[in-house]
Chains A and B, each alone.
Chain A
Amino acid sequence: MAVGGDQARAQRHRLLPALHGLSDRIGWISPGALNYVCERLRVPPADAYGVASFYALFSTTPRAPQILHVCDDIACRLAGAEELCAQLEQKLGPPHEPLPQQQSACWTRSPCLGMCDRAPAALFIAADPGGSPRGEPLGEVDRPRLEQALLSEDRPPAQPARATVAGTQRTLLRRIGKIDPESIGDYRKAGGFTALRRAIEIGPAGIIHEVDVAKLTGRGGAAFPTARKWEAVAREPARPHYLICNADESEPGTFKDRVIMEEDPFAVIEAMTIAAIAGGCERGYLYVRGEYPLASSRLQKAIDEARAAGMLGDGICGSPLRFDIEMRRGAGAYICGEETALFNSIEGLRGEPRNKPPFPVRKGLFGKPTIVNNVETLANVIEIVAKGGEAFASVGTPGSTGTKLFCLCGHIARPGLYEVPLGTMLAELLALAGGVRGGKRLQAVLLGGAAGSFLTPAEIGVPLSFEGARAIGATLGSGVVMVLDETADLGGILVRIAAFFRDESCGQCVPCRVGTVRQEELLHRLRRGRPLGSATQERDLLAQIGQVMRDASICGLGQTASSAIESALSKFEVFNRA
């Protein structure tokens, strides 16, 4: 029987999974397939096309079913990605076009793939008409290895490499590398689900109290007090309440959430369940970026196992509580990490941020009260509930409690994921990772990612706390610590950052849509030493472009699109060197 009215419209949230289904099978979104999806889901074809053409991993024109995404973003650029892409272009032809050697394959450039610890990185995706696509992350690649990935027919899938994890305190990372991530038994043996049991005992008010005492703040970049967010949702009379785990980690240089999801997936589920109890949420979404095939397959297995073991679904852990998690895959859009864009993406709309207010705690996913937390923020909750908020708050500084994950990449001796108490000096962290690679002199550190800022060697005494970073006009952002040695081409990095924001702007508001284009053009002029008017005029213009993006853009993407660039130009002689 045909469905109509509200019931039919409610199918729209299946649009993104349906588009994934098409892309997984034939490698692109064909007109006939799109029309079929539209008929089944009752979505206007023009709307669905608007959604399909929004995401970088989808193609709305015929494309080879096997595609190699080669990261040319900043961390990989420091590892020679630009030269690698030039070699590929010479041997394999232009991006997006079928290879002369093999018509069923193509290659393309990609923004950060979240494998900066093993730069340069690539991601091989092979569509499969049977519905079992292959997604293979490839680290530390060179041209012969990429050609092999693209051109050889029967090749054993590469074993996923394990990340280097280290630090002075292992709380969030305590199970990483020590348990089998696909075994719920291992997770239990390592203390898993004890926090959830305690959470059920102490109830929503008890959980929120502990998180409040712990002074936990969001680790996604905004550092908003987590307990305040949860309490606000718990108080809302409208039902249902939703919980979203934001795992759309896409900030260039960031790979911390990927490591947690790949190596400790049950922790993500346990933490989500605790947060859901606190906020009175019956339904959870786990939104994982599309470039993380290993994380999404392990999380899906973990969700299924947890449900089978009674830790999800009706009556979690023997209590009368109900909570379940649905996983959603992103499809190549940095902007979908912005919480309101993420709502739209789940709802089957274009991933365009919404204007705030209203805030998500009142009107979030499907217009209902919604908690959105980053993977790392949630992971902290397990420790807080298990050991108490006070113990958690005893680590770190009074203003920044707990530990923090930092993604060390670039010209550093031992790249990897490092956990240290908040307040640790940047210089200590760099020393912990072996300092600048090859004994070279430090030129700069990019702290916080493309939306963060550059620090000079004189600034590495900064304590890595929220207030410490703020005091020097920086931000911890997503925990990126990207090291640039004296040989690094800072101008080239800035131009790549500008290109990143131009590519990732959703295009909704004028300041960001056009501002990111004008910013990139201007940097190219400075880099080539061909300013319009004087260099001073160009600097003034760049400052004004930055100001309108910061002041008048709808969301954080536009508001921070100039921050790293402006910080570099104010502190370094970027374009004046011979």
Chain B
Amino acid sequence: MPDVTIEIDGKAVSVPEGATILAACRAAGIDTPTLCYLENLTPVNVCRVCVVELEGSRTLVPSCSRQAESGMKVKTDSARVRTSRTMVLEFLASSVDVSLADDLQRQMRRYGAQPGRYGPPAPPPKADQRDASVAGHHDPPSGDAAHTVAQPVKRDNELYVRDYTKCILCYKCVEACGSDAQNTFAIAVAGRGFDARISTEHAVPLPDSACVYCGNCIGVCPTGALMFVTEHDRRAQGTWDPSRQNKGETICPYCGVGCNLEVSTQDGEIVKVMSPLESGVTNGHLCIKGRFGWQFVGKRR
């Protein structure tokens, strides 16, 4: 394929035709934050943290989905870009629990984000209140505290928990559950505006939904909102310790597909199973057996 050349921060960068501005930035070694972007999913360009300034464009453009076109002039570190990125990070950190989102935290330090300047977090609402919110209506705020998405953890099955207090609404889980990987469509975005949320139909528990427990949503979640029960419980007990964990790569023995597995063990127990994004077999996705079917290991007598 022919190359196109664009100018990024004054330097010429060549990428194959059809590549995005983000790909060009990465080829040029420019650290560009992303949250909703993932190599194995269709770009939804909703988080807007990857925006760059494109000459001739009235607004900033999302680098993750904008194709590089010959002659484009792009700035990745202008005052406008820095302001927008900082504000997006602050908006998220002031409304969502981002304590487990390592990359987001790193970018916050880089941009000097101060989520505290919107006021202290508002007290969490009653259980199920977010699921019951009505589109187009909300109670007027006092302004003294910053509204958040805080809500109780959803634990309705034995395999994984959904802690939507940590959800930045990046749409990745919806994409992985839908046509980008699993084609199960058990979850979608429901509601509107700040009350938009990931939900099953009528917010039914997962066992009553179409969920097949492939766990591909966990694999793509950037903030730890979706988590193996094994990890969630260990974290709650204070016994989750990555320094004591071993990661082993293997091939799933269940069927003939031969999915690559990355198995994390701690204290002789399998605590988490992922698949590398770059695996040509899985693209990072697994099924219920490869993801969760390991309880028998170690219980053999």
Please determine whether A510 and B190 come into contact, CB atoms closer than 8 angstroms. no
Q: Which of A236-244, A360-368, A519-527 participates in binding chain B?
A: A519-527
Q: Are A47 and B188 in contact (CB under 8 A)?
A: yes
> Which of B82-90, B219-227, B285-293 interfaces with chain A?
B82-90
- A508 to B168, alpha carbons, bound, how many Å? 11
Chain A residues within 8 Å of B140, by CB: 495, 499, 520, 524
The listed residue with most B CB atoms (<10 A of its CB), out of A502, A520, A521, is A521
Are the C-beta atoms of A514 and B92 separated by less than 8 Å? yes
CA distance A506 to B185 in the complex (A): 21
In the complex, A171 has a CB within 8 A of chain B: no
Query: Which chain B residues lie closer than 8 Å to A506 at the CB level?
Result: 192-193, 196
Given B46, B60, B91, which contacts A515 in the complex, CB threshold below 8 Å? B91
Asked if A544 and B87 make an inter-chain contact with CB atoms under 8 angstroms apart, the answer reads: yes
Within the complex, what minimum Cβ distance (angstroms) separates A403 from chain B? 28
Q: Pick from A59, A355, A507: contact of B193, CB below 8 A.
A: A507
Q: Is A489 an interface residue (CB 8 A)?
A: no
Which of the 9-residue segments A308-316, A393-401, A545-553 touches chain B? A545-553
For the complex, give the distance between the alpha carbons of A8 and B154 in Å. 33
Asked whether any CB of chain A lies closer than 8 Å to the CB of B195, the reply is yes
Interface contact A50-B91, CB-CB below 8 Å: no
| Chain A CB within 8 A of B38 CB | no
Tell me if A525 and B193 are in contact (CB < 8 A): no
Contact of A44 among B188, B192, B194, B202 (CB under 8 A): B188
A532 is an interface residue with CB less than 8 A from chain B:
yes
**Distance A109 CA – B134 CA, assembled complex (angstroms):** 12
Excluding A44-B185, A509-B46, A514-B91, 9 further A-B contacts by CB distance (< 8 Å) are A48-B201, A49-B199, A50-B190, A53-B135, A56-B192, A509-B47, A510-B48, A510-B168, A532-B117
Could you tell me the dominant secondary structure of chain A's interface residues?
Answer: helix
- Taking a contact as CB atoms closer than 8 A, the residue among B92, B117, B143, B201 that contacts A49 in the complex is B201
Return B14 CB to nearest CB of chain A, in Å: 22
CA–CA, A55 to B136, complex, Å?
Answer: 8
Instruction: Judge whether A60 is part of the interface by a CB distance below 8 angstroms.
Output: yes
The B contact surface, by secondary structure, is loop
Is there contact, CB below 8 Å, between A46 and B136? no
Contact (Cβ within 8 A) B118 A518? yes
Answer whether A521 and B200 are a contact pair too, CB < 8 Å, given A332-B135, A516-B194, A532-B117.
Answer: no
**Does residue B243 face the partner (Cβ distance < 8 Å to A)?**
no
Are B49's CB and A528's CB within 8 A?
Answer: no
Q: Is the CB of A523 within 8 A of B51?
A: no
Chain A residues with Cβ below 8 Å from B169 are 507, 510, 513
Q: How far is the CA of A290 from the CA of B41 in the complex (A)?
A: 35
Contacting pair B188 A50 (CB below 8 A):
yes
Residue of B nearest to A524 (CB): B143
A552, B88: Cβ atoms closer than 8 Å: yes
Asked if B143 and A522 sit within 8 Å, CB to CB, the answer is yes
The listed residue with most B CB atoms (<10 A of its CB), out of A111, A509, A525, A545, is: A509
A541 within 8 A of B: yes
Q: Does B138 have its Cβ within 8 Å of any Cβ on chain A? A: yes
Most chain A CB neighbours (cut-off 10 Å) among B119, B140, B189, B192: B192
Q: Does A350 make an interface contact (CB < 8 A)?
A: yes
Residues in B lying within 8 Å of A, measured CB to CB: 45-49, 51, 59-60, 62, 65, 80, 83-84, 87-88, 91-92, 94-95, 117-119, 132, 134-138, 140-144, 146-147, 168-169, 185-196, 199-202, 209-210
Question: Closest residue to A515 on the B side, CB-wise?
Answer: B91
B134 and A59: CB pair below 8 A? yes
Counting chain A residues whose Cβ lies within 8 A of the other chain, the interface size class is 35 or more
Asked whether A505 is an interface residue with its Cβ less than 8 Å from the other chain, the reply is: yes
Chain A CB within 10 Å, residue with most, of B60, B137, B143: B143
Residues of B within 8 A of A515 (CB): 87, 91
Cβ of A263 under 8 Å from chain B: no
Q: Tell which of A502, A525, A553 touches B138, judged by Cβ atoms closer than 8 Å.
A: A502
**Is A443 engaged at the interface, CB distance under 8 Å to the other chain?**
no
Q: Measured between C-beta atoms, what is the minimum distance from B193 to chain A in Å?
A: 4
B residues less than 8 Å from A528 (CB atoms): 142-143
Q: Pick the contact of B87 from A511, A516, A521, A522 — CB < 8 Å?
A: A511
Within the complex, which residue of A54, A509, A522, A551 is in contact with B135, where a contact is CB–CB below 8 Å?
A: A54
Q: Are B62 and A53 in contact (CB under 8 A)?
A: no
| Bound CA span A72–B60, Å | 35
Q: Which residue of A lies closest to B195 (CB)?
A: A507
Determine if A333 and B192 form an interchain contact, defined as CB atoms under 8 angstroms apart: yes
Chain A residue nearest to B47 in the complex (CB): A510
Find out whether the CB atom of A548 lies under 8 angstroms from the CB atom of B83. yes
Given A507-B196, A532-B119, A547-B84, also A56-B135 (CB < 8 A):
yes
User: Is A223 part of the binding interface, using a Cβ–Cβ cutoff of 8 Å?
Assistant: no
- Could you tell me which A residues sit within 8 Å of B by CB distance? 31, 34-35, 38, 44-50, 53-56, 58-61, 95-96, 108-109, 111, 332-333, 350, 355, 495, 499, 502-511, 513-518, 520-525, 528, 530, 532-533, 541, 544-545, 547-548, 550-554, 559
B87 touches A31 (CB 8 A): no
Q: Which residue of B lies closest to A508 (CB)?
A: B46
Residues of B near A548 (CB, < 8 A) are 83-84, 87-88, 91
CA distance A525 to B185 in the complex (A): 42
Q: List 12 interface pairs A-B (beta carbons < 8 Å), by A numbering.
A: A34-B202, A35-B201, A49-B188, A54-B190, A503-B138, A507-B169, A508-B46, A513-B169, A514-B95, A517-B194, A548-B84, A551-B84
Q: Which residues of A contact B45 (CB under 8 A)?
A: 355, 509, 554
Residues of chain B with a CB closer than 8 A to A517's CB: 95, 141, 147, 194
- Would A46 and B201 count as touching, CB distance under 8 A? yes
Bound CA–CA A350/B134 (angstroms): 15
- Quick one: which of B142, B193, B202, B210 contacts A524, CB cutoff 8 A? B142
* Residues of chain B within 8 A of A514, CB atoms compared: 91-92, 94-95, 194
* Residue in B48, B147, B191, B210 whose CB lies within 8 Å of A45: B210
A29 and chain B: residue at smallest CB distance: B202
Given the complex of chains A and B, what is the CA–CA distance between A199 and B53 in angstroms? 44
Report the bound CA distance from A35 to B59 in whole Å: 41
Least CB separation from A522: chain B residue: B143
B146 touches A521 (CB 8 A): yes
Task: Select one of B49, B59, B188, B191 contacting A551, CB under 8 A.
Answer: B59
Instruction: Report Cα–Cα, A246/B119, bound state, in Å.
Output: 40
A49-B201, A502-B138 as given contacts; A510 in contact with B144, CB under 8 Å = no
Contact partners of A524 in chain B: CB under 8 A: 140-143
Asked whether, in the complex, the Cβ of B134 is within 8 Å of the Cβ of A552, the reply is no
Closest CB-CB distance, A149 to chain B, in whole Å? 21
Q: Which residues on A sit within 8 Å (CB–CB) of B200?
A: 45-46, 49
Whole-angstrom distance from the CB of A5 to the nearest CB of chain B? 13
For A31, the chain B residues whose CB sits under 8 A away are 201-202
Q: Are A53 and B190 in contact (CB under 8 A)?
A: yes
A34 to B188, CA, bound (A): 15
Least distance between B115 CB and chain A CB atoms (Å): 11
Q: Which of B137, B138, B192 contacts A54 (CB 8 A)?
A: B192
Residues of chain A within 8 A of B47, CB atoms compared = 509-510
Give which listed residue, B51, B144, B196, B201, contacts A513 with CB less than 8 A: B196
**A53-B135, A111-B136, A511-B84 in contact; A46/B195 too (CB < 8 A)?**
no
